[in-house]
Amino acid sequence: MQRRQFLKTLAAGAVSAAAGRVVAADAKVAAAQLARKLPRWRGFNLLEKFILTRENKPFVEDDFRWMVQWGFDFVRLPMDYRCWTDAEDPEKLDEKTLAEIDEVLEFGGKHGVHVNLNLHRAPGYTVAKPPEKLNLWTDEEAQRQFDFQWSRFARRYRGIPSSRLSFDLVNEPAQTTAAAYAKVVRRVVAAIRREDPDRLIVADGLRWGRDPMLELADLGIAQSTRGYDPFPLTHYQASWANGHRFAKPTWPLKQGEKVFDRDWLYRDRIEPWKKLAAKGVGVHVGEWGVYNKTPHDVALGWMADLLPLWQEAGWGWALWNLRGSFGILDSGRQDVDYEDFHGHKLDRKMLELLRRF
């Protein structure tokens, strides 16, 4: 499909019969209204453009077919801006790669799945390696490039309803102050709204997405939290998180006199975000999950305590990931009886737990 026709089709709101599964607002509902109370979108992170050095592949339509078959309606796309940005000229963008992002929006529209675009690596900031040369929180040039990236997406996708497409600005901001982060967010939101006033925008919480940003409660955008606590349970043996230093976890998890259990999850991870939601800010869990070295029964027990808390709060979520070491397909766990699924190894127990909530 030619890009012009593709965008025209999406803007017109054409969807397949699978669209009935979408927990979506009417396309005419303003983004500000959506941002105050998000639908309880549930789904997965898809990693085809997660890191330039090992990914940057086209997205896979079967992922959308399967998600809808299972009852899910949301994908978050954590992306590395270098996948489509010239290394020498930050304003020169690769149309071939951008067309692959167009295609994934087509998949979302066809199958009734909300697509959330996220800069996992943005000009001037990333949680991955290597670090960026510029600093998004302090450098004018990084902020200018950041604005450029999002304003181009805003222009490209203007007219696609916010019930179908949202922008998640930058993954897991950290190593900065709330004031500095808020300044960057307000600036880039203004840049987006100049191109597309009705786009649904999401900002991750501060401190790697863990802490709600009350400083942005007046901006008319939603916010995204995380589900990776307690960290010694979710990242046991994860090399990039120095997970070798953690003892083999149990659930509930005991560390000395401290007990991490369902009550702790509510007090530490839910209550602070409920205070933000009470101010009229929509909340979504952009990432969560358990690395494949954590015993499977421990992972499922933790999930079974956390998922009802999000359900009660009315928050949706996106598991990290669909296919891979945190996911329900091809996770590489050694203690799972996998089911064959279209050539993939399906963790049926985890899938059925997710479907309950």
pLDDT in tens, 232-282: 999 999 999 999 999 999 999 999 999 999 999 999 999 999 999 999 999
- Tens of pLDDT along 84-113? 999 999 999 999 999 999 999 999 999 999
Give 222's strand partners.
Answer: 202
How many beta carbons lie within 10 A of that of residue 229, not counting itself? Answer: 18
The mean pLDDT of 332-353, rounded to a whole number, is 98
Say if CB 13 and CB 7 are below 8 A apart: no
pLDDT mean across residues, the chain: 93
- Tens of pLDDT along 62-89? 999 999 999 999 999 999 999 999 999 9
- Reduce the secondary structure of the chain to three states and give it as a string: CCHHHHHHHHHCCCCCHHHHHCCCCCCCCCHHHHHHCCCCCEEEECCCCCCCCCCCCCCCHHHHHHHHHHCCCEEEEEEEHHHCECCCCCCCECHHHHHHHHHHHHHHHHHCCEEEEEEEEECCEECCCCCCCCCCCCCHHHHHHHHHHHHHHHHHCCCCCCCCEEEECCCCCCCCCHHHHHHHHHHHHHHHHHHCCCCEEEEECHHHHCECCHHHCCCCCEEEEEECCCHHHHCCCCHHHCHHHCCCCCCCEEECCEEECHHHHHHHHHHHHHHHHCCCCCEEEEEECCCCCCCHHHHHHHHHHHHHHHHHHCCEEEECCCECCCCCECCCCCCCCCEEECCEEECHHHHHHHHHC
CA pair distance 220, 146, nearest whole angstrom: 20
* pTM score, whole prediction: 0.92
CA pair distance 90, 84, nearest whole angstrom: 10
The mean pLDDT of 7-33, rounded to a whole number, is 49
CA pair distance 282, 314, nearest whole angstrom: 10
What is the band of 3 on the pLDDT scale with cuts at 50, 70, 90? low
- Residue 230: predicted pLDDT: 98
What is the band of 55 on the pLDDT scale with cuts at 50, 70, 90? confident
What is the band of 8 on the pLDDT scale with cuts at 50, 70, 90? low
On the 0-12 / 13-18 / 19+ scale of CB atoms within 10 A, 357 is middle
- Residue 24: predicted pLDDT: 34
Counting every residue written for the chain, the total comes to 357
How many beta carbons lie within 10 A of that of residue 333, not counting itself? Answer: 20
On the 0-12 / 13-18 / 19+ scale of CB atoms within 10 A, 355 is exposed
- Residue 6: predicted pLDDT: 54
Domains delineated in the chain:
3-356 (3.20.20.80)
CA pair distance 165, 49, nearest whole angstrom: 17
What is the band of 192 on the pLDDT scale with cuts at 50, 70, 90? very high
